[in-house]
Amino acid sequence: MTTALKREGIFINHKRVRRLMRDLGIRSVIRKKRPFYGRRGSIVFPNILNQNFYAENYYQKLVTDITYIRIGHNSFVYLSAVLDLYNNEIVAWEMSTRNDLELVQNTVIKLNPSLIKNGETLLHSDQGFQYTTKRYQKLLEGMKIVGSHSRKGNCFDNACIESFFSHLKTEKLYLVAPKTYEETYKAVNEYIFYYNHERFQKKYNDLSPIEYREKAAA
């Protein structure tokens, strides 16, 4: 909150901000951690990433995962996304009513082929069934992408993309509570644009992912 106010030209000590928020009954949304459930697959890549989340270049280290989003009381949709560890930017995403291999493939093929470094771009995921199929392996090979898998049942190996999904839900989806596929898609699209272009991050000197990338390239 202090950083958000500073961006608007309002400079207030963080202790005063905390006191004012308390007096006005304003509270931050607390994100709940969700359990991780591993799956056995047929093809498992070595854990090349190995929790080394630092990347020196854009499109050097990418991480991906799928999360479910509740619609109304009885329905779900599934969001697949790819995050670049260089600047935490969401560089590809896809949404579907089915949690299947096609969802993953449609996400990965949205990556910018001109930015993929031949044999050097790493794409890390957990061992979900979609990511351990022969077709997924062939897709990465064809795109000259190196595959990497988390250790089975270790959620910390893919913590960055899990964190993004948590922010998406607590900062947008839980607040707007979409009731249709179309409403959900619109909400996700709006949040990802906001996250990439406007949502500042402390680790990047209070710049958004795209602001950080553009400043580094200048």
- Mean pLDDT, residues 65-78 taken together: 94
The whole-number pLDDT of residue 42 equals: 74
Longest dimension (CA), the chain: 57
Report pLDDT for 175: 97
Average pLDDT score, the chain: 90
Phi first, then psi, for residue 12 (nearest 5°) are -135, 140
Residues 69 and 158 placed together within one structural domain of the fold: yes
Q: What is the pLDDT of residue 218?
A: 86
80 with 166, same domain: the answer is yes
136 and 200 both lie in a single domain: yes
Cα–Cα dist 177/157, whole Å: 30
Confidence at 33, pLDDT banded by 50, 70, 90: very low
In-domain check, residue 48: no
pLDDT band, very low/low/confident/very high, at 154 (cuts 50, 70, 90): confident
> For 30-50, what is the mean pLDDT?
67
Whose CA is closest to 47, among 124, 108, 121?
Answer: 124
Res 174 pLDDT > 70 = yes
The first and second tokens of residue 176, run together, are 């707007």
* 25 and 67 part of one domain: no
pLDDT above 90 for 210: yes
Please tell me whether residues 120 and 185 are part of one structural domain. Answer: yes
Who contacts 30 (Cβ-Cβ below 8 Å, separation ≥6)? 170
- Burial status of residue 201 (CB atoms within 10 A of its CB: 0-12, 13-18, 19 or more): middle
For 85-138, the pLDDT digits (tens) are 999 999 999 999 999 999 999 999 999 999 999 999 999 999 999 999 999 999
Cα separation values, 39 from 69, 110, 130, 140, 163, Å: 20, 25, 10, 20, 20
Q: Are residues 77 and 3 in the same domain?
A: no
Query: Is 89:201 a contact under the CB 8 Å cutoff?
Result: no
Mean pLDDT of 3-25: 70
Both 72 and 17 in one domain: the answer is no
Q: Is the pLDDT of residue 32 over 60?
A: no
| Confidence tier at 4 by pLDDT (50, 70, 90) | low
What pLDDT, on the 0 to 100 scale, is given for residue 36? Answer: 39
In a domain, 97, yes or no: yes
- For residue 153, the model assigns a pLDDT of 81
3-state DSSP assignment of residue 37: coil
Q: What's the confidence (pLDDT) of residue 1?
A: 61
Per the structure, the complete domain to which residue 86 belongs is given by 61-217
CA dist., res. 84 & res. 64, Å (int) = 9
Rounded to whole angstroms, what are the CA distances from 148 to 11, 94, 205?
44, 20, 29
CA neighbor of 137 nearest in space, from 38, 40, 45, 39:
45
- Please count the other Cβ atoms lying within 10 Å of the Cβ belonging to residue 144: 13
CB 122 within 8 A of CB 62: yes
pLDDT tier, 74 (very low <50, low <70, confident <90, very high otherwise) = confident
Q: What is the pTM of this model?
A: 0.81
Decide if 4 is inside a domain.
yes
DSSP string computed for 177-214: ---SHHHHHHHHHHHHHHHHHT--BGGGTTB-HHHHHH
